[in-house]
Amino acid sequence: MRFWTHDRHDFPLPGGHKFPLGKYRMLRERLVADGIAAAGDIHGSTPCPWERLAEAHQAAYLERVREGRLSDREIRVLGLPWSTELVERGRRSAQGTLEAARDALVFGHGMNLGGGTHHAGRAAGRGYCLFNDLAVSIAALRGERTLGRVAIVDCDVHQGDGTAELLHPDPDVFTCSVHGGANYPFRRATSDLDIDLPTGTGDDDYLEALTGALDTIDRWDTPELVFYLAGADPWEGDRLGRLSLTKHGLAARDALVMDRAESWGAAICVVLAGGYAPDLADTVDINVATARALVARAG
Ligand SMILES: [Zn+2]
């Protein structure tokens, strides 16, 4: 199967932030080194057109992003300094998720080696997320084809507040977020299903909660497309996670979501979302395991 990335090269950003940019390149290299993907299977996405972003985001916000006129407060809330490279990689990241979703609908499986920017709301970037790739992709797909119902299974350890804001009102999208209850963001938007897990939650309790969440989606409807945010940040060693999943538990999590998507006959589009291990190699290990599991199913 093929993978998408916001670029074959990481966009350099000015300092003054703690975002682990290097993980994207490391992940691409590991996928090739481990024989999960050939170098030619990893495709660079083009920048998402502004008109497409405008289907999910407020025009005035996009204009401030485009022209570098975000306020100091907006930059603080975003957590990354503005630069043309930041905007470029954000646009390519959103487009990568759309490309992966298209792959999923055609081939059954798709993956963006980035994306999952679930904190971005209609008129605001937040928590390292400039554009909401999920809302942008769903709007674009609906312009291209008849799209059935969509489920968002957000297993990043932080609540998907931007996704909730943008897509909870949509009756054909089920937004589900499984996250640490004590984590960022502290002002939440409401998803169709929010599961707040106690600090320190380990593998068994996590997997039980996730099974319950998937059962809830099952009672809602049979989705045609599942977006799976396979965040690496519920891992026990993550700096920002507060949960205690092992790598084994995270692999079991991936299998649960992929099994359920298969049982629905749904296309599955995997996106990375967060991961803040002190050693980047741990975040990348978790992402590699997710990609390997998806490739095994894609055949
Ligand atoms: Zn996160």
Domain residue spans of the chain = 3-298
Q: Quick check: helix, strand or coil at residue 28?
A: helix
The alpha carbon of 171 and the centre of ligand 1 are apart by a number of angstroms equal to 25
- Please indicate, yes or no, whether the overall pTM of this predicted structure exceeds 0.95: yes
The alpha carbon of 231 and the centre of ligand 1 are apart by a number of angstroms equal to 6
Give the pLDDT confidence score for residue 34 in this predicted structure.
Answer: 98
Catalytic residue of the set 6, 118, 119, 179: 119
The alpha carbon of 154 and the centre of ligand 1 are apart by a number of angstroms equal to 10
The alpha carbon of 145 and the centre of ligand 1 are apart by a number of angstroms equal to 31
Distance of CA 99 to the CA centre of its chain: 14
Q: Which residues pair with 195 in a beta bridge?
A: 178
Beginning with the edge strand found earlier in the chain, give each strand of the sheet holding 3-5 in spatial order: 42-44, 3-5, 109-112, 267-271, 225-229, 150-154, 173-180, 193-197
The alpha carbon of 233 and the centre of ligand 1 are apart by a number of angstroms equal to 6
Q: Please report where in the chains the tokens 């692999």 appear, as a residue.
A: 251
Q: Tell me the pLDDT of the chain (299 aa) as tens digits.
A: 999 999 766 666 777 677 888 899 999 999 999 999 999 999 999 999 999 999 999 999 999 999 999 999 999 999 999 999 999 999 999 999 999 999 999 999 999 999 999 999 999 999 999 999 999 999 999 999 999 999 999 999 999 999 999 999 999 999 999 999 999 999 999 999 999 999 999 999 999 999 999 999 999 999 999 999 999 999 999 999 999 999 999 999 999 999 999 999 999 999 999 999 999 999 999 999 999 999 999 97
Q: E strand or H helix at 94, and its extent?
A: helix 84-107
What's the Cα-to-Cα distance from 262 to each of 109, 149, 192, rounded to whole Å?
10, 15, 22
Q: Does domain 3-298 have CATH number 3.40.800.20?
A: yes
Q: E strand or H helix at 76, and its extent?
A: helix 72-78
The alpha carbon of 259 and the centre of ligand 1 are apart by a number of angstroms equal to 23
Cα 123 to Cα 241: distance, rounded to the nearest angstrom: 26
Around ion ligand 1, residues with a beta carbon closer than 5 Å are 156, 158, 233, 274
Give the pLDDT confidence score for residue 201 in this predicted structure.
Answer: 98
Give the pLDDT confidence score for residue 11 in this predicted structure.
Answer: 66
The alpha carbon of 78 and the centre of ligand 1 are apart by a number of angstroms equal to 13
Give the pLDDT confidence score for residue 184 in this predicted structure.
Answer: 94
Give the pLDDT confidence score for residue 9 in this predicted structure.
Answer: 62
The question of whether 119 is a catalytic residue gets the answer yes
